[in-house]
Amino acid sequence: MNPDGIIDRNSSRLARRESIVFVAIVAATAAFIALVYTLAPIIERARLVERYRGPQSQWPALATPDGLYIEALAPLPARPDFPVDNPFSEAKASLGKRLFFDPRLSGSNQIACASCHDPSLGWADGRHKAVGHDRQLGDLNTPTVLNAGFKDRLFWDGRAADLETQVIASWSNPIEMAGIPEDAARQLGEVAGYGPLFTDAYGDPSITAARIARAIATFMRTLNTPNTRFDRFMRGEHAIFTAAEIRGLDLFRGKANCIRCHHGALLSDGDFHHLGTSVHGVGDYLGRYRETGAPEDVGAFATPGLRNIGRTAPYMHNGFGDGIDLESLLALYNMGWWQNAPPTEKVSDVPLARLSPLIEPLGLSRAELDDLAAFLRTLDGNSLYMPQPDLP
Ligand code: HEC
Ligand code: HEC
């Protein structure tokens, strides 16, 4: 026997055992690392959700471009402020409600405010573009009137500063109601039941266009949705958001950049931007430019508030696209919209529209887009369904 051989055999057995132990350790370490890698994002996400269940001061900081003012997200007050020259009264709001539903205001006696701002269609009309007097098709999508009393500038180009001005404008617009306010006021004076309602609201039965406008404006200031799930969450009911909704809120404030333009209690900056929704020479392609004449305002439209968007499709100033639902709209945001294709022929002296510098491709995954949509749906209010009131 060769003693060396025995030693050889023993040591090689030992070496084999050592290498098995080594492989086992490596495998266990690899498995552990893999587990940590899989769990870390899950733990991270759970921690993020927990942070959002705390006060807003503990939420992750916003990373927005320098100098951009961002108003904190907030619950909506129950009602907007009423102007000093048109204070709230129950009688005026109730008169305004009747007038809002009364087609006798219109030139044809057939179109009421409620024809286009229909309570059962989210107080909009469910159409791409509004159809008004004589079935004329307008260029613009009908916005909801819900929460409109909180806005500082009304209409897609912001040309009305208050609801009183807006009412007269919509009422006399030849492609909407085509009403002649003074004539309609005189005509309503002949309807027996209205006199006492004006007396309740204003102290005497005189019916004027301005009184009609003030009553309708008062009624609209009562049409608010301050109790959405979003509002309840923001008022401290932190348990009512699902984890997906909270992740969506985080994306809204962060990676998806929505907060750059949609912020505050209305989720609107009250400003105007061009996203690439209009095309030079087609429909209303001027937007805010018509009011300001500033080149950066060509094709810029008012940032809509996002409350009740689950109910107010089609979207955007022109109700653009066929079947563009909320999910498709998010897909467009995800790709960063597009610059207006230069027209083959410029049809006017109006400068070409420029995409807002605040719009960029987002790189959101399918799952992230779903989370974002889940968050946006928390902004839908209780249905403010209202049956047509009896008219005098
Ligand atoms: C034919 C359909 C139609 C009728 C009738 C109509 N509207 Fe509108 N409404 C629209 C459209 C379209 C717009 C957007 C117009 C624009 O931006 O220039 C609008 C805008 C508004 C806005 C501004 C909302 C915002 O967010 O800027 C309010 C408020 C409003 N209408 C209330 C009324 C009232 C009150 C009446 C009745 C006096 C009325 N509308 C009649 C279609 C209609
Ligand atoms: C640069 C500012 C800006 C940013 C950033 C922005 N939006 Fe908008 N948003 C607008 C403007 C302006 C409109 C209206 C455009 C139009 O009518 O042509 C709009 C319209 C919308 C509408 C349609 C509302 C309606 O009633 O028609 C939705 C929904 C919306 N935005 C959601 C989002 C979401 C979600 C994000 C983040 C992914 C986002 N927005 C980011 C400015 C912005």
User: Quick one: which of 179, 333, 144, 201 has its CA closest to 255?
Assistant: 333
What pLDDT does residue 122 have? Answer: 92
Q: Poorest-confidence range of 13-27, 151-165, 274-288?
A: 13-27
Q: Taking 70 as the threshold, does the pLDDT of residue 23 lie above it?
A: yes
What pLDDT does residue 233 have? Answer: 97
What pLDDT does residue 229 have? Answer: 97
What is the spatial distance between Cα 163 and Cα 176, in angstroms, rounded to a whole number? 16
Q: Taking 60 as the threshold, does the pLDDT of residue 86 lie above it?
A: yes
Structure tokens at 250: 């985080």
Q: Is 115 in the pocket of ligand 1 (CB under 6 A)?
A: yes
Higher pLDDT, 13 or 183: 183
Residues 6 or more apart whose Cβ sits within 8 Å of residue 51:
58, 59, 60
What would the pLDDT profile of 105-160 be if each residue is shown by its tens digit? 999 999 999 999 999 999 999 999 999 988 998 899 999 999 999 999 999 999 99
Q: Taking 60 as the threshold, does the pLDDT of residue 3 lie above it?
A: no
Structure tokens at 94: 């109730």
CA distances to 54, 92, 250 from 57, in Å: 8, 41, 14
Ligand 1 pocket test: pick from 97, 115, 116 the residue with the most ligand atoms within 8 Å of its Cβ: 116
Q: Which atom of ligand 1 lies nearest, measured to the CA of 284?
A: 18
Give the number of the ligand closest to the Cα of residue 333: 2
Q: Taking 60 as the threshold, does the pLDDT of residue 1 lie above it?
A: no
The residue nearest atom 42 of ligand 1, judged by CA position, is 142
Instruction: Say if residues 309 and 316 touch (Cβ distance below 8 Å).
Output: no
What would the pLDDT profile of 57-72 be if each residue is shown by its tens digit? 899 999 888 889 999 9
Structure tokens at 220: 């609209």
Structure tokens at 337: 């919209």
What is the spatial distance between Cα 266 and Cα 209, in angstroms, rounded to a whole number? 30
Q: Find tokens 């209205």 and name the residue.
A: 194
Q: Is the dihedral of CA 10, 11, 13, 17 positive or negative?
A: positive
Residues 6 or more apart whose Cβ sits within 8 Å of residue 135:
none
What pLDDT does residue 42 have? Answer: 84
Question: In a 10 Å sphere around its CB, with 0-12 CB exposed, 13-18 middle and 19+ buried, how is residue 82 labelled?
Answer: middle
Q: Is 314 in the pocket of ligand 1 (CB under 6 A)?
A: no
Q: What angle do CA 292, 295, 300 make, to 5 degrees?
A: 70
Q: Is 145 in the pocket of ligand 1 (CB under 6 A)?
A: yes
Q: Taking 70 as the threshold, does the pLDDT of residue 193 lie above it?
A: yes
Expressed in angstroms, the distance from the first to the final Cα of the chain is 123
What is the spatial distance between Cα 17 and Cα 13, in angstroms, rounded to a whole number? 6
What pLDDT does residue 165 have? Answer: 97
Q: Taking 80 as the threshold, does the pLDDT of residue 383 lie above it?
A: no
The one-letter amino acid at 187:
Q
Q: Find tokens 């001005």 and name the residue.
A: 165
Instruction: Say if residues 146 and 79 touch (Cβ distance below 8 Å).
Output: no
What is the spatial distance between Cα 139 and Cα 129, in angstroms, rounded to a whole number? 6
What pLDDT does residue 236 have? Answer: 94
Residues 6 or more apart whose Cβ sits within 8 Å of residue 303:
261, 262, 268, 269, 270, 271, 272, 273
CA distances to 127, 239, 373 from 137, in Å: 10, 46, 31
Higher pLDDT, 56 or 95: 95
Q: Taking 60 as the threshold, does the pLDDT of residue 299 lie above it?
A: yes
Q: Which atom of ligand 2 lies nearest, measured to the CA of 277?
A: 18
pLDDT category at 4 given cuts 50, 70, 90 is low
Mean pLDDT of 37-60: 87
What pLDDT does residue 56 have? Answer: 87
What is the spatial distance between Cα 20 and Cα 30, in angstroms, rounded to a whole number? 15
Could you tell me what percent of the chain has a pLDDT over 70? 96
Higher pLDDT, 65 or 50: 50
Ligand 2 pocket test: pick from 64, 253, 306 the residue with the most ligand atoms within 8 Å of its Cβ: 306
What pLDDT does residue 339 have? Answer: 65
pLDDT category at 320 given cuts 50, 70, 90 is confident
What pLDDT does residue 341 have? Answer: 67
What pLDDT does residue 46 have? Answer: 85
Q: Computed over its alpha carbons, how large is the radius of gyration of the chain?
A: 30
Q: Taking 80 as the threshold, does the pLDDT of residue 353 lie above it?
A: yes
